[in-house]
Structure 1
Amino acid sequence: MKFFLVVVSFLLSACSTLPSAFESADIQALTYAQVKRDAEKHKNTYVKWGGVVIDLKEVESGSLMHVMFYPLDYYDRPDIEKPSEGYFLIKSEKKLDPKIYFSSREIVAVGAIEGKTDYSDTYGSAGLPMINARAVHAWPVAYRENYYYYCPTCYFKQLFW
């Protein structure tokens, strides 16, 4: 019986697709529209947002990622079938690898809202919501093409690859 419980616990832990930083209790379910409307009110609030990478730049204190926001689905993946609500920036204290976080890559990030940006010289428009990332996760590139579109019943196979 103990062996069975150990095996089941290992199998269930294998189903977790995101690192533990993404399951923190202090993450609030704020929408993009709420933060865009009044970012100062939500400053220092932790959110889990996702989207598609537009650009990644190195700055003196780490990296700055420009992201097109999409709501997250049940598995915390950006739901690119829904319309995008706008753009936001992710500021990371560590240097992010441009070979991993390239343009059009789907990502999800957890971080504290810092307010609206003043990076108008970098991205052409000030006032985008910015989060200071605690963790950033890049989704596998081919998970949609390999399973989601061609084999809807195989959707869960990607969790084990």
Structure 2
Amino acid sequence: MIRTSLLLSSTLVLLSGCASIPEPLRGDFPTSTPAQADGNSQAVRWGGRVIDVLPESGQTCLEVLGMPLDASARPLDLDADIGRFRACKSGFLDPAVFISGREVTITGRVDGEVTRQIGDYSYRMPKVSVDALLLWPERPEIEQIRIHSDPFFGPWWGPAPVVMYPWPLARPHERR
């Protein structure tokens, strides 16, 4: 009995560490990207970095640079661009919270297209009516610290190897 409960509790602890999609973002969605959207009312789960916040009467729209999502539906920290989209949610989203560069993931339905002038280029992007919106916490910056061992007291003949340790940077919180 003790062995069974110990096995069950250790299994639960191990499984709880696995990546999972947050509850509001769960569901089956097609693998289309903003660049592939055709303007029909398909259900989508897209994510990326906030470019601009556009408060309007009754709703707030976020202009987002689309990025591929990982297994937990968080945007990957890559330079991959899958197209821009405009995500509109009823109510007010504070531009001081949804600042440029923050990562978001949304679920909703494509609700037509909008055109925005970017420099001299007229850019068409899909407009999404948002059902669920998740603002991800900022990623900590990681710095590699190099530690050199004493060359005369290593476990092998010759100098000891250089060891790299990832270490979070202790910088004051800065807004982008």
TM-score by length of 2: 0.65
Give the percent of matched residue pairs that are identical in Structure 1 and Structure 2: 27
Shift in alpha-carbon separation, 1:97–1:127, aligned structure 2, 3 A: same
- CA separation of 1:150/1:63 partners in 2, compared to 1, >3 Å: closer, same or farther? farther
Alpha-carbon distance in 2 for matches of 1:9, 1:94: 39
Question: Which piece of structure 1 moves more, 6-15 or 134-143?
Answer: 6-15
Q: Any conservation in 2 of the 1:18–1:137 contact (CA below 8 Å)?
A: no
Larger Rg: 2
C-alpha spacing 1:14/1:59, structure 2 compared with 1 (3 Å) = farther
Partner of 1:84: 81
Could you report, residue by residue, the CA deviation over 1:127-157 in whole angstroms, capped at 9, with x for unpaired residues? 31111111111221134x14xx659x98xxx
Match of 1:19 among 22, 26, 44: 22
SS at match of 1:28: coil
Structure 1 residues 140, 127: CA separation in 2 closer, same or farther (over 3 Å shift)? same
Q: Which residue of structure 2 lines up, in the alignment, with residue 129 of structure 1?
A: 126
State the shift of 1:126 in Å. Answer: 6.0
Q: State the distance in 1 between where 2:98 and 2:126 align.
A: 19
AA aligned opposite 1:29: T
Number of residues paired by the alignment?
A: 143
Gaps in structure 1 of 5+ consecutive residues: 155-161
TM-score, normalisation: structure 1: 0.70
Query: Are 2:47 and 2:103, in contact at CA under 8 Å, matched by a contact in 1?
Result: yes
Partner SS, residue 130 of structure 2:
strand
- What's the offset of the Cα at 1:31? 2.1
If asked which structure has higher relative contact order (CA below 8 Å, sep 6+), I would say 1
Q: Using a 3 Å threshold, how does the CA distance of structure 1 residues 7 and 131 change in structure 2: closer, same or farther?
A: farther
| 1:78-157 alignment, distance < 5 Å | 78-117=75-114, 120=116, 125=122, 127-143=124-140, 145-146=141-142, 150=144
1:65 to 53, 57, 62: 62
Superposition CA RMSD, Å: 3.2
Question: CA deviation digits over 1:1-39, x for unaligned, max 9?
Answer: 4576467547645655543121113x221123321xx22
- Runs (5+) with no aligned partner, structure 2: 146-164, 167-176
Structure 1 pair 46–150 and aligned structure 2 pair: CA distance change class (3 A): farther
